[in-house]
Amino acid sequence: MARTFDDATRRNIAELCAAFARLAPADAVPDLKRAAVAIALTEADDGDGTAFLLTRRSASLRAHRAQWALPGGRCDAGETQAQAALRELHEELGMALGERDVLGLLDDYPTRSGYLITPVVVWAGERAAIVPNPDEVASVHRIALDAIEADDVFSFVTIPESTRRVIRFRLGESHIHAPTAALIYQFREVLAGRSTRVADLEQPVFAWK
């Protein structure tokens, strides 16, 4: 069932984020660079329900070109994770939101490419104006929350290069991998009232650089 895009849903998701027991940042990985991404909630394409924003990165970018991603990037000096996620939302999608729009933070996820990513859940507002930056974003997609709450959209596979499970999120004819798939999966679990950890979920080898 679609989650109606209204104040009741906003309050419910804020309560679920507040109830989520976020793990403290891992002190064992001080060499990782801090980064943040936004799980930006807005109205679904058909106006029936709540969705989050997913982007396809520009093919001209130096790293992770043309890959699926949540809006985000590296934290600047002195920025909190929430401030970095909001800044990146503005730089990538032209969305001007404030810290009052932040509903909560999920667990940090360490990547093979040297980052510690903090997912920041943000309420973007009804039919929020989106103006993609073509230097960074090839396309923007509204993914309805019921699309990630289905039983069969997440799968786990093994690879010879690692003993950890690789997570995949099926979106249409595509598969989205970690870190993005891991962050979306944890958000799905939070929506269900579960504190499922994802830091041990593996990325495919092509995302290790």
User: What are 56-94's pLDDT values in tens digits?
Assistant: 876 454 555 557 899 999 999 999 999 999 999 999 999
> What is the overall mean pLDDT for the chain?
90
Task: Give CA separation, 161 vs 115, 164, 180, 199, in Å.
Answer: 20, 9, 20, 17
Give the per-residue pLDDT at 98: 94
Q: Are 92 and 132 in contact (CB under 8 A)?
A: yes
Task: Give CA separation, 138 vs 51, 60, 68, 92, 165, in Å.
Answer: 19, 9, 10, 10, 29
Would the pLDDT of 19 be above 80? yes
Domains, in order of start, for the chain: 7-207 (3.90.79.10)
